[in-house]
Homo-oligomer: A and B are copies of this chain.
Amino acid sequence: MPLYLIGLNHEYITKKALEYIKSSDLIIIDSYTMPNSDKIVSDVLNIAKEKKVIIANRRMLEDESSDVLNIAKEKKVGIIIPGDPLIATTHASIVIDAKIKNIDVEIINGISGICMTKSLSGLQYYKYGKTLTIPGPWRNVKAYSLLFNLYANLCIKAHTLLLFDIDDNKKTLDASIGIKTILELNNELKLYSYLEKLLGILIHAGDKNMFIGNSLRNLLDDANIEEPYSLVIPSNLHSEEEKYLKYVLGIKSEALENHKKYIKEDFCKYMQYLSNYI
């Protein structure tokens, strides 16, 4: 019997996801990788009707995944994953384990919040570099590798999408605390002192999309945005991108002009220097 990994986005339910949920014998919902998974749970319950639905915690789909695979030998098991099943989640390992045990796996792609955010930013997709996560204070780690990768993206003139960490109670890291984490470590390590002048764009991709764009420094005071949100730090802007930020996202000229002024730096040297820290 096969295992289905079904991507589901509350705003954008696909016909294919509907069909696969309906044809599963048992449905398991990953409820721990997304803060607003309540909507996904209610979507699935509405579609699944009288079928058995289990709301899984992280342990069930990671440490105890062999139990799930044993069931998949006899029944069609559909695992519902918010967004896309293999983007920004840890579900590759269950696919590997299934294949090793000779269980068929089908991946039903979904609309990933990460891809939506990049698209809605109006920045050219092919100029995006590595996607990063800002760690919460509960991790007790210094964000050295985050800073290394941010400067690495800037070094190759790539835009950066930054996600905010989620704690065990599904609480998302506060946006201004996240930005502060970056700027404080940057100051402590005496890296590019004008980093705080670069543009940051907070984006909420949802029923009604929201955008707040300003210098990273000014965003500390105005980072009030609906969950889920993420942050984009652009690299060098093409004139078309600049127009989009100005006319479509409503970003002030002053913030744009400052960004263009302070983005003209050799960021590779900071990447080089940070490589000693990671």
Contact = CB atoms under 8 A, between A and B. Distances in A.
Contact of A93 (B11, B87, B240): B240
Interface stretch (A34-42, A104-112, A181-189): A104-112
Contacts of A271: 156
Nearest to A125: B87
A4 to B, nearest CB: 14
A85 interface: yes
Interface string A106-135: 010111101110111010111111111100
Contacts of A92: 122, 124, 240-241, 244
A119 B109 contact: yes
Nearest to A90: B240
A28 interface: no
Nearest to A126: B131
A86 B240 contact: no
A85 B12 CA distance: 14
Given A12-B14, A156-B155, A125 B119 contact: no
A147 interface: no
Which residue of A119, A127, A158 has the most chain B CB atoms within 10 A of its CB atom?
A: A119
Interface residues of A, number: 56
Contacts of A13: 14-16
Task: Say how many copies of this protein the assembly contains.
Answer: 2
A108 to B, nearest CB: 8
A214 interface: no
Interface stretch (A63-71, A95-103, A136-144, A196-204): A95-103
Contacts of A85: 119
Contacts of A100: 247
Given A96-B244, A247-B99, A125 B12 contact: no
A88 interface: yes
**Among A88, A96, A131, A271, residue most surrounded by chain B Cβ atoms (within 10 Å):** A96
Interface in A227-258: 240-241, 243-244, 247-248
B126 A132 contact: yes
B247 A88 contact: no
Given A14-B14, A86-B122, A95-B248, 17 more contacts: A11-B109, A12-B109, A15-B15, A84-B115, A92-B122, A92-B240, A92-B241, A99-B247, A107-B209, A112-B115, A112-B119, A114-B115, A126-B130, A129-B158, A149-B156, A155-B155, A156-B271
Interface of A: 11-16, 84-88, 92-93, 95-96, 99-100, 105, 107, 109-112, 114-116, 118-120, 122, 124-133, 149, 152-153, 155-156, 158, 205, 209, 240-241, 243-244, 247-248, 268, 271
